[in-house]
Amino acid sequence: MNPVYASLGDTIFDVMSGLARETGAVNLGQGFPEWDGPEDVRQRAADALMKGPNQYPPMRGLPHLREAVAEHYGRLQGIQLDWKTEVTITSGATEALAAALLSVLSPSDEVVLFEPMYDSYLPMLRRAGATARFVRLKPPHWRVDPAELAAAFNEKTRAVVLNTPLNPSASLIGAEDLSLIAAQCVKHDCIAISDEVWEHCVFDGAVHISMLDAPGMRERTIKIGSAGKIFSMTGWKVGFACAAPALSEAFAKAHQFLTFTTPPNLQEAVAFGLAKPREHFDAMREQLARQRDRLATALRQEGFSLLPAAGTYFMAVDLAASGIALSDAEFAVRAVKECGIATIPFSAFYTRPPESALVRLCFAKSDATLDRGVEGLAKARKLLA
Ligand code: PMP
């Protein structure tokens, strides 16, 4: 087996969901909503499946969907994209991340990553033969330290991978920090692979800022989105990569031999969904913010200390500040086995142990599940504190 994969275990999401299934625990671990996405979008997919065509769509995606992606970002984020040369449809953001890394990197290149980070970046860039350099974002504000950032770049740096809103910390990378990263990319002639799959899940009036809009980055950013996140249907693997024409051209070369294309009925339905009015996306955000607040209020009443949750489906519990003197992994395993509640330990998102013991909770759940989750966590705090 290739050594990159030989050293990897199962992803933490599968491990914790597996334990939750085995033990019958409430699952606030893996990040999937408990509801299905909009009925009209699903109906559109069902109709397109029956009506066809069901044969290979064009390699870069259905023109109809690529136009819809450009229209959507133009209308909701003020980003002007030429759908013919700047938008590629992929099989989920995971494929887009892989195609971006494979198309940009050569062996001996270096890539700057921010910890905590989503778990697919590191194995994929290593598989491309590149080496990672890490910049750590620290709780509670998860800001970029300019000196640490500058020290991570050198003449070998080819790319930076960033994620905003950031899973698992539920923080946003603000304009100031995006500009700092942009300045290093410009200085060292690097590409930014910008994972923006949580772009619609921002709360309390915050506005998502894309790396494409950062100073000097329009020609050197691959912005990645995910219909699975936009429509709360994580099983729908439909992603988008938006980049300047030359970068899109390179990206498509990798994409054509990864998946070549994505089921046409899902593409058709996503095109329909992206055209929905702004109010649709506002309502989704409001519902998520309500679930977040329900969970946060109940947990605080039980004595838990939480970090701010500005975006994504997630919030972080600070174990030490909640009176629990266990590592995040010990807590997560004991909580699922002994108290019936599955969480995700933050250490899964780091290469070296994090400075604080934090666990991630997903609040995209029904009221009943959130309430049962709070019961499990309250039990865990009594037993493990
Ligand atoms: N990036 C981040 C930060 C994510 O949280 C996820 C999904 N959890 C993905 C990428 C993968 O998205 P997709 O399901 O569209 O492949």
Phi first, then psi, for residue 314 (nearest 5°) are -120, 155
- Domain housing 311: 3-30+279-384
As beta bridge partners, residue 359 has: 317, 345
| 125 and 23 housed in the same domain | no
pLDDT tens readout for residues 70-100: 999 999 999 999 999 999 999 999 999 999 9
Residue 239: CB within 6 Å of ligand 1? yes
The DSSP 8-state label assigned to residue 311 in this structure reads B
Q: What is the rounded CA–CA span in Å between residue 1 and residue 46?
A: 39
| 315 and 261 housed in the same domain | no
Residue 112 near residue 161, CB atoms below 8 Å: yes
As beta bridge partners, residue 341 has: 26
Residue 165: CB within 6 Å of ligand 1? no
pLDDT tens readout for residues 9-57: 777 788 888 898 999 999 999 888 999 999 999 999 999 999 999 999 9
Confidence of residue 227 (pLDDT cuts 50, 70, 90): very high
Last residue of a domain, one of 254, 276, 298: 276
Last residue of a domain, one of 276, 295, 318: 276
Residue 169: CB within 6 Å of ligand 1? no
* CATH number of the domain bearing residue 362: 3.90.1150.10
In this structure, are strands 305-306 and 314-318 parallel, antiparallel, or unpaired?
Answer: antiparallel
Residue 94 CA, ligand 1 centroid: distance in Å: 6
| 283 and 265 housed in the same domain | no
| 47 and 190 housed in the same domain | yes
| 100 and 135 housed in the same domain | yes
* CATH number of the domain bearing residue 244: 3.40.640.10
Number of separate domains in the chain:
2
What pTM value is reported for the model? 0.97
| 181 and 283 housed in the same domain | no
Residue 130 near residue 111, CB atoms below 8 Å: yes
Q: Please report how the helices 367-384 and 278-301 are oriented relative to each other, as an axis angle in degrees rounded to 10.
A: 30
Q: What is the pLDDT of residue 11?
A: 77
Q: Give the DSSP H/E element, type plus range, for residue 276.
A: none
Query: Which atom of ligand 1 lies nearest, measured to the CA of 237?
Result: 15
Q: Is 127 exposed, middle or buried (0-12, 13-18, 19+ CB in 10 A)?
A: middle
Last residue of a domain, one of 251, 276, 301: 276
Residue 61: CB within 6 Å of ligand 1? no
Residue 198 CA, ligand 1 centroid: distance in Å: 8
Residue 163: CB within 6 Å of ligand 1? yes
In this structure, are strands 239-242 and 221-226 parallel, antiparallel, or unpaired?
Answer: antiparallel
pLDDT exceeds cutoff 80 at 318: yes
| 119 and 191 housed in the same domain | yes
User: Considering only CA atoms, which of 378, 43, 88, 48 is closest in space to residue 239?
Assistant: 88
Residues in the chain: 385
